[in-house]
Amino acid sequence: MPSRSDVAWSLIIVFIAGLVIGFFASMELLQQTPQEQAIPAINTTIGVQLGENSVLFLPDKAYFGNLTNYLESANTSVYVVMYVMKYDPKEYNDPVNILLRKLVELKNMGIDVKVIVDDETYDSYPETIEFLVRNGVPVKLDESNGRTTHSKIVVIDGKYVFIGSHNWTESALTRNHETTLLVNSPELARQVVEYIESIWSNGRTISA
């Protein structure tokens, strides 16, 4: 039967061996390039299904991929408040055009779609307004051209909230450094929808 001193020495040896192995493992990791350290490629994270009360960070191009995915799954409502929307009639596959066509498709499917834009869109990109109104999507401006609505919000099915810096422009969706959070929270969505409805009820209607 080993003595207490033998057991103590065995434990000390195991402890020291663990320190040595950990040291060399950490040195090898530090010598790797960032790509070799398996950092998640968050910019390509698309189609993540969030559990309730979860948040996903969407930088740069990750916004467009995830937004289109969630729009595809919309069942009841899609509310959009966007400072700038830039429809490009000359470029069919412009990412903004894809989003706008999806809103039209959802409206035609019987989903409740509402869009609020700022006067910046109305004045600079009237083709956007014309496209949506011509295709039956309800669009309003805020209550006054003296008020700037700088929000960039999408709420889907009273549950999923996209809120951040992305405007609906090709540069914002493909080139800029932009950040948006996707939040799955019915309670947050309720508050945001109340905010949107307050703007909508006082907003200026745009007709064809």
Q: Which residues of the chain have pLDDT under 70?
A: 1-48, 208
The whole-number pLDDT of residue 15 equals 44
Structure tokens at 108: 């035609």
Q: 121-140 pLDDT, tens per residue?
A: 999 999 999 999 999 999 99
Please list, in sequence order, all residues whose beta carbon lies within 8 angstroms of the beta carbon of residue 72, skipping any fewer than 6 positions away.
102
Please list, in sequence order, all residues whose beta carbon lies within 8 angstroms of the beta carbon of residue 104, skipping any fewer than 6 positions away.
132, 135, 136, 137
Q: 90-113 pLDDT, tens per residue?
A: 999 999 999 999 999 999 999 999
Q: Cβ atoms within 10 A of the Cβ of 187, count?
A: 11
